[in-house]
Structure 1
Amino acid sequence: MSNNKFEKAAFAGGCFWCMVKPFKEWEGIQDVVSGYMGGHVENPTYDDVKRGDSGHLEVVEITFDPTLFSYEQLLEVYWQQIDPTDAGGQFQDRGHSYTTAIFYYNDEQRQIAEKSKENLSSSGKFSNPIVTPIRAAETFHIAEDYHQDYYLKEKDHYIEDREKSGRDEFITEYWK
């Protein structure tokens, strides 16, 4: 039984197009929205963020019911979508706006994220250090409408882009 007390989580994992679907299809996830966070430009556009001078990262903001899908479970899904050892971007998408980050909304999320990162670091799964920062959430700026649920709206382009990225090969090598 759900208590209808939804929480927010935000993750940067490279191109936000590839970060929506892995979260969207779980019970307890109310919504996954593409957007921008962490920069200094008010009301950034996709062009501002892609140019790399806004300071923002591409992120997904997730609204979830923690009684059905916990923050710990969100983190498990998150780690399995990214290369947490790459400080220069993700897969074919390079530059600051495509780097990884966990944005926490409260101290409990911060503590859980830090423990999760420590566990991944000590697991031996990666030979290089885990460089994904854990940062306080800032204002979330919703991305333009054409970016929302891109994997559904532009299925062929999404599949083509994802295949070229190398993300799936990485996920298979490290997580399957």
Structure 2
Amino acid sequence: MSLRSILIATAIAAAAACSPAAPPASAQASGPDSGRREVAVFAGGCFWSVEANFERIPGVVSAVSGFAGGRVTNPTYDQVVRGGTGHLEAVQVTFDPARISYRQLVDRFWRTIDPTDPDGQFCDQGATYATAVFATPAQKPAALASRQAAVAVIGARRFVTPVRDTARFWPAEAYHQDFARLNPVRYGGYTRFCGRAARLRQVWGA
């Protein structure tokens, strides 16, 4: 059993006992809230990590772990990891466009993933852990421009993460939500095992 599978089993057992936690740092960020909301969807490997990264960004209102890009309606985690649904682990990010732009979110996303890996991310390998930016028609020009800027750093031959057309997003089960924030010790062990930070330094520099 993988470390992530062990953590999932532990999280399921503990989910009912979890008390309400403080809102993520992004919800407490300084600066006025305009009340406007837009949504973006990113697939960056393990959705625990993608969610945790976005929740730290001022201007992000919420980040929800789930699935996108597949063929099955309302898939479960077990269905997705078994394969055959076509879904990627993804995160739906709700943000205030007056505080952070969609382009800025995409720019930050690249620096949290290894866009040179076509088979997954870090210790999580397989089709469900592939990376992508899911963009609406209105978002696509900004997403492609951001990708082009990132490709200039990495190199076109190495950069494999695509910008894909928008796809229906399905939230994952409750025990996956806010996993890093609610389970800091277990999540810390997972990230150290995966070597995420070291690999990101190799790809993007310090």
Select the residue among 65, 89, 105 that pairs with 1:58: 89
1:16-165 superposed matches below 5 A:
16-105=47-136, 107-123=137-153, 125-126=154-155, 128-165=157-194
**Distance (whole Å) between structure 2 residues aligned to residue 127 and residue 37 of structure 1:** 25
Q: Which runs of 5+ in 2 are unaligned?
A: 1-31
Identity %: 40
State the alpha-carbon separation in 2 of the partners of residues 71 and 55 from structure 1: 26
| Counterpart Cα distance in 1 of 2:165 and 2:119 | 21
CA deviations 1:118-166 (Å, max 9, x no partner) are 111122x358421111112211100000000000222221111111112
Q: How far apart in 2 are the matches of 1:102 and 1:127? A: 17
The residue type paired with residue 19 of structure 1 is: V
Aligned residues: 174
Equivalent-residue separation in structure 2 for 1:63 and 1:127 (angstroms): 30
Deviation at 1:16, TM superposition (A): 0.3
For 1:166 and 1:144, the matched residues in 2 are separated by 26
Q: Distance in 1 between matches of 2:127 and 2:59?
A: 31
Equivalent-residue separation in structure 2 for 1:26 and 1:11 (angstroms): 15
Alignment RMSD: 1.4
Shift of 1:85: 1.1
Equivalent-residue separation in structure 2 for 1:38 and 1:15 (angstroms): 15
Task: Calculate the TM-score normalised by the size of structure 2.
Answer: 0.80
Which is greater in Rg?
A: 2
- Unpaired segments ≥5 residues, structure 1: none
1:27 shift after superposition: 2.0
Aligned AA (2:146) = S
Q: TM-score, normalised by structure 1?
A: 0.93
**128-137 vs 28-37, greater mean Cα deviation:** 128-137
Displacement of 1:101 in angstroms is: 0.4
4+ residue segments displaced more than 2 Å: 125-129
The one-letter amino acid of 2:93's match is: I
Report the CA distance between 1:15 and its aligned residue. Answer: 0.5
Task: Tell whether the 8 Å contact from 1:103 to 1:137 is kept in structure 2 after alignment.
Answer: yes
Q: Deviations over 1:86-126 (max 9, x none)?
A: 11111111111000000012x23111111111111122x35
Amino acid in the other structure paired with 1:148: Q
Higher relative contact order (CA 8 A, sep 6+): 1
